[in-house]
Amino acid sequence: MKIRRSLSDIRNLEGTNLQLSQYLNIMEREDVACLFHSLSLGKLFVDKTTLQDLRRLFDGKRVFQNDLIDEPLRQSIKYMYEHFMIVGDGDDDLTSRMAPKALYDDLGIRLMYLVVSEGCNLACKYCFIERNYEPQIKKTSMTEETAEMAVNYFSDILDRSAKSKQIIFYGGEPLLNFPAIQAAIRKIHQLQENGSLQKDTVVSLLTNGTLLSESVARYLYENGVEVGISIDGPAKNHDAMRMYPDGKGSFAAVWEGIQNAKKIYGNSIGFSVVPGPHNLDELPKIMEWLITDVGCDKVGISLPTHPFYFEPEQIAQKIFESFMVIKKYGLGEDRIVRVLRPLISENIYPSDCGAIGGQIIVASDGSLGVCHGFLGSRQFFGNNLASLSERKIHPMQLNEWQEWSTRSPLVALKQHCQECLALGLCGGGCGLNAYYRTGSIFGMDEAFCRYVKTMLGLLLWYLYDKGKDG
Ligand code: SF4
Ligand code: SF4
């Protein structure tokens, strides 16, 4: 959703009271200023003299007098008016009331995590799911019956108009329970054949790669399952974090899994890297290694969860440098794209997390939750798949989903976010991080805020440099 208005001629503004919007941010670098509106996502780069002129005209409420304007300023003023950077009485209130529509338009279940196994054969040091497991919660495996029921339920509640629809096999390590994966895949195909589940529903598996045999890879490939493998770099980086419970690094086993997958998938696999003390400095090089030496068509960077190991500004800088490398090879990176896409399209990005009214998590015992990060405590997992399915209850009828669905800077976080330059495109970060930091999902994911504001600054100047260089 865009916040925009049109203006055919700036002469039409003659005699109106206008001032700079409260949502306008001005960033300066050498002799250039970037004017950025945090809700319309309009951005204008002007030299310092133009900035002074604009301040003279609009700092404080002024009556607009067209004949005082030089020609070079006209285009800037038109752009600023159209993007609500200069406003009349009530315009800021109007934009602030319009913005939440972007969130409401975005709500709708489109993603299911099927947690077929809550156990894992690895004990990665930073695993946020493992870290939060309460001793009394059993790490069970999903039955085939539950897997089938989950697919059925998902097809019933899915927002059929959603742009992307996805089922993800997740864990622990999902390949510890291959029979449940196979049962779910059979059900997916059956529902796709009879039209109950749309054929464009993407099915994927996120794995640590250690159990990926050639026959498993072949089965997945033949059944249209996308594979994403977690890897943190070559052995020296990877083994420092991703290890077996006895402390032995998992790189050798992952490498074998990758080779098995590549025999079947070629380069059509994805890798996911978690930055941390073991690889942050080398992150751009690791991306290059994954693309050119290992071979893949997708790389992703997952932000570490609370507590952050590094200064978020440092992570943003390294992810930005990695993006520059990835881009060279014609690939995108989801973490950056989440900020860059709204910045370029000027469409508000209302939430950064599937738990905001977009997903269900089916735990291995059939309980249904909002966010996989809470599997270990079973908070927000108070519902049972069998019962919901039998009573035909949609998750959005339940308190948990309704509550989480407001967790956006445009709605429930508004009072903290109103003055932030990232208001219209940060999505509010992660409710799990906020919960562990503040005790409430409506607290702030402060590390994310610092990360995203740094990233936004880097990307704004990146766009400026790119425009300047043609
Ligand atoms: S970066 Fe943080 S403070 Fe800013 S809008 Fe997003 S959640 Fe709010
Ligand atoms: S709250 Fe955090 S961990 Fe949970 S789904 Fe959202 S982004 Fe992911």
Report d(CA 49, CA 66) in Å as an integer: 19
Q: What is the pLDDT of residue 34?
A: 98
Ligand nearest to the CA of 168: 2
Task: Please name which of 282, 253, 249, 255 lies closest in space to residue 271, comparing C-alpha atoms.
Answer: 255
Residue 86 and residue 92: Cα distance in Å, rounded? Answer: 9
Ligand 1 centroid distance, CA of 67 (Å): 40
266: left (phi over 0), alpha (psi -120 to 50) or beta: left
Q: Residue of the nearest CA to atom 7 in ligand 1? A: 428
**Best CA proximity match to 287, nearest among 343, 222, 237:** 237
Distance from residue 58's CA to the centre of ligand 1 (Å): 27
Atom of ligand 1 nearest to the CA of 429: 7
CA 84 vs CA 95, 162, 332: distances in Å: 8, 29, 31
Q: How far apart are CA 203 and CA 187, in angstroms?
A: 12
**447: enclosing H helix or E strand:** helix 446-468
| 330-371 confidence digits (pLDDT tens) | 998 888 999 999 999 999 999 989 999 999 999 999 999 999
384: burial class by Cβ within 10 Å (0-12, 13-18, 19+)? middle
Report, as an integer, the average pLDDT of 124-149.
Answer: 86
Amino acid at 210: T
Using CA atoms, how far apart are residues 45 and 464, in angstroms rounded to an integer? 7
Highest CATH level, class, for 109-396? alpha beta
| 87-101 pLDDT per residue, tens | 999 999 999 999 999
Give the tens place of pLDDT for each residue, 295-339.
999 999 998 876 666 789 999 999 999 999 999 999 988 889 999
Q: Is 32 helix (H, G, I), strand (E, B) or coil?
A: strand
Angle between helix 431-438 and 446-468 (nearest 10): 140
| 163-195 confidence digits (pLDDT tens) | 999 999 999 999 999 999 999 999 999 999 999
* Total-model pTM: 0.94
* Distance from C-alpha of 411 to C-alpha of 417, rounded to nearest angstrom: 10
When pLDDT is averaged across residues 401-429 and rounded to a whole number, the result is 96
Domain ranges across the chain = 10-98, 109-396, 406-462
Q: Is the CB of 99 under 6 A from ligand 1?
A: no
Ligand 2 — pocket residues by CB below 6 A?
353-355, 371, 373, 430-432
Q: What's residue 65's pLDDT? A: 84
- DSSP per-residue string spanning 282-326: THHHHHHIIIIIII-SEEEEPPPPSSPSS-HHHHHHHHHHHHHHH
What secondary structure does DSSP assign to 223-258, as a single string?
TTEEEEEE--SSHHHHTTTSB-TTS-B-HHHHHHHH
Residue nearest to atom 6 of ligand 2 (CA): 353
d(CA 167, CA 263): 24
For residue 62, how far is its CA from the centre of ligand 2 (angstroms)?
45
Yes or no: domain 10-98 corresponds to CATH 3.40.50.720? no
Length of the chain: 470
- Cross-strand partners of 249: 243
